[in-house]
Structure 1
Amino acid sequence: MNPVIKHILNNNIYQIIIMSTSASMTPLSKVMERLAEKGYEDELNIKKEGATIGASTTPIYQASDLTIVRSYRFEGESDPADMSILYAIETADGKKGFLLNAYGTYSDQDAEYYDSFILDVPIDEKAELEELGN
């Protein structure tokens, strides 16, 4: 069983499943593969005007059109640059996708709108996605 922490985001408390790059924990690539099998295969792209899913440029989703349904945090044992967070996301019109980013000082999202956008996405975690990290 992976350790779980409570995380507060936008006044909502939700669980983040902590992963590791050690042999005893599920690696990022495996969790992404399992998410893809469940339909979460297209990447969310956040821009100033909103977000898109996959290669499509439309529709443009606002934060209120999306829901974070599970979060996975990965921690490298020896390299802080291996720290990343993976969000499984669903849209109001039924599409599924993911958002992957480093976190902390290694985050590659410096734009102000990125942080404010992701903080505004509602959270409604699905318990059935927890098993993907085991």
Structure 2
Amino acid sequence: MNTSGRPDQMNTLLEVLNKCKDRSMDIAFEYTPQGLTAGKDGKKVYQPSDLRILKTYRFEGMSNPDDSSILYIIEANDGTKGYVIDSYGAYSNHDDQAGYDNFIRQIEVEDRDEQLLFSL
């Protein structure tokens, strides 16, 4: 449920992930020291120059710091669309946080408007 008071604004991680699934943008990218891999097989490895960040969402847990995370909606140059999620700071889910941060910083950021990103 959207409690932001704005009907066009999603405010939970689950809401955004469900919207991504509805729009076939639900492939989970995973960070490795070699690059981002896409999907369960992880055979294709993408470099920052292969990717664009379409939208960034930040979620802050009201009572639990473990709920604080960043969701990047990503599109690869081959048309693959999906997301990568990271928890904030000490709660990061990456073994090589510095490498992950550096990798993400190198990706071009488009930051599309939500209405454009999720429009038909």
TM-score strictly above 0.5: yes
Judge conservation of contact 1:70–1:129 (CA < 8 Å) in 2: no
Rounded to whole Å, the distance in 1 between the matches of 2:18 and 2:2 is 17
Please tell me the root mean square deviation across aligned C-alpha atoms, in Å: 2.1
TM-score scaled by length of structure 1: 0.73
How many Å apart are 1:113 and its aligned residue?
Answer: 2.1
Instruction: State whether residues 54 and 117 of structure 2, in contact with CA within 8 Å, keep that contact through their aligned partners in structure 1.
Output: no
Contact 1:86 1:101 in 2 (8 A): yes
1:31 is displaced (CA, Å) by 1.1
- For 1:97 and 1:131, locate their aligned partners in 2 and report how far apart those are by CA, in whole Å: 12
Determine what percentage of the aligned residue pairs are the same residue: 35
Instruction: Give the number of the structure whose residues are more often strand, by fraction.
Output: 1
Contact 1:83–1:102 (Cα < 8 Å) also in 2: yes
Aligned length in residues: 111
Misfit runs of 4+, over 6 Å: none
Residue correspondence of structure 1 range 112-131 to structure 2 within 5 A: 112-128=98-114
Ranges in structure 2 where 5+ consecutive residues have no aligned partner: 5-10
Q: Extract unaligned runs of 5+ from structure 1.
A: 1-21
Secondary structure at the counterpart of residue 57 of structure 1: coil
